[in-house]
Structure 1
Amino acid sequence: MALRLGAVAGLTTVLTGLPIADAAAATSSSFGTGGDGQVIHLLARLTSRTDLDLGAPGFDQGDEEVFTDDLFRGSVKVGYDGGVCTVLIVEPDGSSESQCTATFSLPGGQIAAQGLIRLPATGQAEFDIAITGGTGKYRKARGHISGTFLNATDSQIAIHVTH
């Protein structure tokens, strides 16, 4: 998942690859209680981004980032994601918080997610957003997506999903 507003490298994290049918089975694990769970580990690589300066000139409340990423497991592309993040607050120290929504398209279906992402003024940024639903084999999906922005184009993500 990509979120690269300001100087911070990027969600979709949040949002982040594998031949999902095979890799999901290879990375399946039970977690929590009450359901079949799996964790899908992916690398998200930015493919497009548009920054919209909607408020006062410069990085401030109301600005948006629209993004797409390719999703990889190793060197194999296994899907893509896309989303939008809206800046809610920019602190005097340069840190910020945004509301982000993203959809992850994987073999067999899609996973929708949203949440608040806090970006520090310096250092590595991480995120953890809620899975809000899905389609296909993910139609009863719930869980969360966690990730770390590695640089200006890449994010490492883990999709923790129960069905």
Structure 2
Amino acid sequence: MALRLGAVAGLTTVLTGLPIADAAAATSSSFGTGGDGQVIHLLARLTSRTDLDLGNPGFDQGDEEVFTDDLLRDNVKVGHDGGVCTVLAVEPDGSSESQCVATFSLPGGQIAAQGLIALSATGQAEFDIAITGGTGKYRKARGHISGTFLNATDSQIAIHVTH
């Protein structure tokens, strides 16, 4: 997911290699619904982004970022995502918080997610957002999506799906 507003690259974009959240609860990393849960580990790579300066000039409350990413496993595209992040607050030190909504399209269905993402003044962040629903194989999906921004175009994500 990408949250790259202003000097930052976003919900699936990430800036420095912070460790990704632990995936202890799930046992499978394959696509589909097997068992009580699964974790799908992917690399999200930015394919397009538009920053909208909607408030006062400059990076501030109300600005938005619209993004799409390719979702990769072992450098092979297995899906894509897209979403929008809206800036809620920008602090004097340059850190910020945004509300992000994204949909992940994977083999067999889609997973919808949303949540708040806090970014440091340098754009560093880890995120953990709620899965709010899905379609196809994921129609009863619940859980969360955790990730780490690695650089201006890539983020490491783990989709923790429970049913």
Report the TM-score when normalising by structure 1. Answer: 0.86
Change in 2 beyond 3 A, CA 1:46/1:89:
same
Change in 2 beyond 3 A, CA 1:50/1:32:
closer
Change in 2 beyond 3 A, CA 1:50/1:84:
same
Query: Where does residue 83 of structure 1 map in the other structure?
Result: 83
Change in 2 beyond 3 A, CA 1:74/1:17:
farther
Residue 75 of structure 1, CA deviation: 1.1
Residue 11 of structure 1, CA deviation: 1.8
Asked whether the 8 Å contact 1:29–1:37 carries over to 2, the reply is no
1:4-153 aligned within 5 A: 4-12=4-12, 28=28, 36-122=36-122, 124-153=124-153
Q: Which runs of 5 or more residues in structure 1 are unaligned?
A: none
Report the TM-score when normalising by structure 2. Answer: 0.86
Give a deviation string over 1:43-93, Cα, whole Å, max 9, x none.
Answer: 000000000000000000000000000000011100000000000000000
Asked whether the 8 Å contact 1:60–1:87 carries over to 2, the reply is yes
Identity %: 94
Residue 114 of structure 1, CA deviation: 0.1
Give a deviation string over 1:75-122, Cα, whole Å, max 9, x none.
Answer: 110000000000000000000000000000000000000000000112
Q: Which runs of 5 or more residues in structure 2 are unaligned?
A: none
Asked whether the 8 Å contact 1:12–1:83 carries over to 2, the reply is no
Change in 2 beyond 3 A, CA 1:35/1:17:
farther
CA RMSD of superposed structures (Å) = 5.6
Distance 1:40 1:140 in 2: 16
Moved more, 88-97 or 122-131: 122-131
Distance 2:130 2:21 in 1: 22
How many residue pairs end up in the alignment? 163
| Larger relative helix fraction | 1
